[in-house]
Amino acid sequence: MWLAQDGNGGVWLCDISPEPFPKPPVLIFCCHAGEIVAISASPITNHIATLGKDGRLHIYDYENHQLILQHQFHAPASDMIWLPIECDSSGSTLVTAFQDGALRIVFLDIVAKSIHLFQAIKAHKGPIKSLILNPLASLLASGSEDQTVFIHCLREEAKLINVQPIGLIRMPSEVVALTWNPRNSNWLLIGCKQGEILHANIPENPEFFTENTFFMRNVEIQEVLCLPMKKEVQRMKRITEVWYKKAIMKEFIPRYAPKITIVNPPSVHDSQEFTASFQREEEEVEISEEDPGEILWMKFTDDETFWVAMSGDECGYLYEYKFNEEFNPVKCITIPEAEDLEIRSYLYRIQEDFRLFNDYWQLGMHDNKKGIIPRLINSRDGKFLFSIGHDGNIFSYRWNCPETSTPTPPDTIPGNSFPTNAPEIPDRDFSSTLSLEEEKQKISDELRKKE
């Protein structure tokens, strides 16, 4: 018997003996084939869901380290949310986002070990990059490469969640990051690929003033532009060091030079060269031209500011911004030993000292070259920490997280089953399907032609 690994995340036990009737291959292990792009924890049970770029959904029992469910979708995936019980009393609904521009809403029947796709929405005509739920669990926002943000409201009907479209907001460039204001559930922070950040006041109900488009009007928006700052910060730091050296030398030479016996006294030319070296060193500290990096994530603080982490030349720093007329950050925070590394995800345990990074340690887990960690999450009770990587690995950790307020865990797995009268739809690739906005435009054009 031999072990064989296929290209789709499977390990097989194979009989390659020359016998006329060899035993059929047996699948003994299955994992994601490539990048894992999203992870979410169940709000009521000890399960996590992971979503691979290959479009495969896995459900794990993390207490027993078992893969209990898997499902293959017909499009590459990008993001996912396990809906909380505040909006889904069953705690069994997942909203998944894909690169074909569609949202797929599925119901997990843990007892029957089945996954049911009951709603699919072609919200965008381009790949979806980000998906996020507001603090009240009433509004769902999706951002896409088509330079739009689509807002949806969530309604529970007949024991299933119904995702209803509200409207679109047009953005200046591709949408790469979204986050809600924790103190105001209607304010959405939107990060774009070219460094633009917009703060939008989102309505909770659909706008019925027009039947021709989903694009919303009269949306209050504040804008901040993230300018390249890392080189400027490093330049000012270097200039400060040069000034400090010059100040020391100005104090040192008059005080101690008469008391020092110089064995080989420098010539006049050497003295002039020594003095001029500081001037040259200061002049050489220039700002190199750079393009603004892509926004990786944003996070609100408790001081009515927000943090921004960027990629490319701007990586390694956390920039803290305020919504005002100035585009410069109010603070630049360096992550120890990561000045040239992209900060992909961030969790903090203690609210009071979230700006302090001097007490830290490192744990190397994922692959050094292709192990980007796109997401860190807690379990529902905060006792476990999970990380996923583009190297295809999932790691779980026990950690000393402050206790979180979670529902009392049931003695057995909840028997939430898929409603018998609920419609279940077949999955397909929505790449060639018209988006909601394109459908509305098509209907409008057809009506106009009939007139």
Say which range, 62-66, 77-81, 228-232, has the weakest mean pLDDT.
Answer: 228-232
Q: How confident is the model at residue 450 (pLDDT cuts 50, 70, 90)?
A: confident
Q: Residue 324 above 70 pLDDT?
A: no
Task: Give the mean model confidence (pLDDT) for residues 114-141.
Answer: 95
- The pLDDT assigned to 254 comes to 62
Q: Report the first-to-last Cα separation within the chain, whole angstroms.
A: 73
212 within 8 A of 296, measured Cβ to Cβ: no
If one compares 276 and 176, the residue with the highest pLDDT of the two is 176
Closest CA to 226 of 136, 328, 153: 328
Please determine, for residue 153, whether its predicted confidence score (pLDDT) is greater than 60: yes
Q: Do the beta carbons of residue 148 and residue 124 sit within 8 Å?
A: yes
At residue 247 the predicted structure's pLDDT band, cuts being 50, 70 and 90, is low
Query: In this predicted structure, which of 2-11, 168-177, 246-255, 290-299 has the lowest mean pLDDT?
Result: 246-255
Highest mean pLDDT (candidates 95-104, 195-204, 268-277, 326-335): 95-104
Residue whose token pair is 């209803």: 164
Q: Does residue 66 have a pLDDT over 60? A: yes
What average pLDDT does range 411-434 have in this prediction? 80
CB within 8 Å of 285: residues ≥ 6 apart: 235, 238, 239, 242
pLDDT value at residue 268: 45
- What pLDDT score does 182 carry? 87
- The larger pLDDT score, comparing residue 159 to residue 326, is at 159
68 vs 158, which has greater pLDDT? 68
pLDDT of residue 58: 97
What is 312-361 written as a DSSP string?
A: GGGTTEEEEE-SSS--S-SEEEEPTT-TTS-------S-GGGTT--SS--
Averaged pLDDT of the chain = 82
pLDDT at 230 over 60: no
> pLDDT tens digit string along 343-376?
888 877 666 666 777 667 788 899 988 889 999 9
For strands 184-192 and 196-201, give the pairing. Answer: antiparallel
Give the residues across from 155 on adjacent strands.
162
**Rounded-to-integer distance, Cα 351 and Cα 299, Å:** 13
For residue 46, give Cα distances in angstroms to 79, 317, 383: 21, 35, 11
Mean pLDDT of 328-336: 76
CA angle 242, 245, 246 (to 5 degrees): 90
